[in-house]
Amino acid sequence: MTAARPTATGSPGYTERMPCEPESARRARLLVSAALNTWGMGELAEVGAQVVAELVNNAIDHTRCRVVRVLVTRPTEGVVRIGVADNCKDTPEMGDPDDDSEEGRGLFLVEALSWRWGYDRKRWGKVVWAELEVPAQC
């Protein structure tokens, strides 16, 4: 895996392109943790890292993408948005795993850990995102 540098997106935010492969989940966790720590929100780093890992893994498992883009932004002072963009136009759906299944729970976990989640359709694919509420003391 080649080293890449996250790019500041401006408002504030960070983004990085990554190969659509399992090793990228680790890179995505590091990006989210670094962004949250930079913004003084280290207490959200563990949850943010888990959310982005699930979103990256969903893109790997359910699309034919070659590259994903991870985005970490602050649309408002009280919200951090973590997104994963891919070129697949299929929309994410909650799984329906049976009790013994080891797969199909990713979006349930994202929903449980985040304030809200969703997706934005784009001309070229979609961005699946989850938002975390920023505690008042940050």
Quote the pTM value: 0.85
What are the residue ranges spanned by the domains of the chain? 7-133
- Residue 1, pLDDT score: 41
> Which tens digits make up the pLDDT trace of 14-66?
999 999 999 999 999 999 999 999 999 999 999 999 999 999 999 998 888 89
Fold of 7-133: Heat Shock Protein 90 (3.30.565)
- Residue 91, pLDDT score: 86
Q: Which DSSP string do the residues of the chain spell out, in sequence order?
A: ------EE-SSSEEEEEEESSTHHHHHHHHHHHHHHHHTT-GGGHHHHHHHHHHHHHHHHHH---SEEEEEEEEEETTEEEEEEEES--PPP------TT-SSS-HHHHHHHHSSEEEEEEETTEEEEEEEEEPPTT-
